[in-house]
Structure 1
């Protein structure tokens, strides 16, 4: 069994100094699969949505009191988001000189964007079939350029792109509130949800990087994500419903990567040790009927992003994930 460790993406911190430290930790504590950190504590331009809008091609956006909204041209906050991403990539290029191996980047997926970004005339993009198609396709096109830029900056990297879809279960269940908060947007049925994901996953593959999908909800739609073209999935074992375990077993048997969130993402009252976490993963594999030595490409992660953790626990959580991965490799 190949087992490595990585972070989900977000890290604590509010300035450039904190970002440099987060990047150093990502490269140093998870050396087999380091990741490009995100620091949402720097404000909306560095949030999951702002970061993805910095990648989106051709569409403009601006920050309104109710959140991000599509516009005819990039507003000051959209330009700030793009500037922050460029600065972060400059720092990655500097710190990763001579790096070889796998490297992970993250971006919000098309349905999470559609559920969090407004149309020019108000209400979520989710409310408009044409707008959500345009946004998904613009994200796909932007990702082609983004992966190419990463490849140029870190030529020795074997890139992996994690597409974050925390809002997807609510989109599928008709649980996303309208702007007024009095109603809910209509359910998006699986075939349509799959199509937008297919555009994004295909763009990542065509750019030369395997896409994996992250959803830390209890009802993460594992089969839908894999069926749309994701080559791996990332889930939070603390909340994942048992009904999704069969899909995880099938994914591992088919050679897909499975990222298991098993380390607390915020400061725990009693921090677990690596032996306890290792044993937990082994119990899950046994429940799935999988032999640890033949279970496929397994990745150990914190349960979700570490933005809400203290700096000391963020460092410790990554180190713990790495120790658990090493334990599992020899189990």
Structure 2
């Protein structure tokens, strides 16, 4: 889900599949939400943003800011794109209302388009789809150059858009040429700053002694990574829960994989380990399941009671000290000779 705006804001370079994504979102009838938001991502990293309150595109990474510094006039072009797409997508909402779709109440309409490129196999692909209130509405089929309705209501729009040959030519050219051309330029532009591999910081976390042990990796880059639990060197799937790869604020990523240890005997803990691996790096990061290495903020009830009692005693002692000091201060104060 991304927007045709912010093209220069995206470099990335790895010997693998690269993605360029745009999302445009228009909202109607929802208070405290911008009427229009546009986001651009490369390889799942947000690299540019604008909305109806901030129409000038905002680069989101150091390397996209550098691109703006090198080509300052490009911001004017992206501002134009942001303004133009804001008008277009709001027109789409009006079109939906005309066909009694999103006719009453709140309406959230999105356009999601982009392209993929594998720099090893040279395989490419593109897509463009629209959604309404969180549901797929209509998509563009690049093979047949026709629109495919995802709901019965979308069939009305499909017939109208299939007759619009100018629109079809535009999206065919955008997805098969312009998007890929831009993506390849960004790969070349950002090669020196983004062709890197940042290893993760891996920790074992647990809420309580009976909770699953979470193997948590953070700070890694790129997001082409996997993580799993092993027993005796073999990957296991039972009693394992995989979390999604999520972005950090600094452009790196984090992920977790949980192991239910309720059926694991204490003497068998040494047979388990957590493995983090990049898709294109041979060396894995292996973390043994070790009770001494588990981080937790859990406090046993008995310790909590002792801490509470101790805290109460200390508090009373401090109160007595304060009261005693107050009486001494007043006594000394009464013995002073006033200065006129």
| TM-score interval (norm. to shorter) | under 0.3
- Whichever structure has more helix as a proportion of its residues is 1
TM-score (norm 2): 0.24
- Whichever structure has more strand as a proportion of its residues is 2
TM-score (norm 1): 0.25
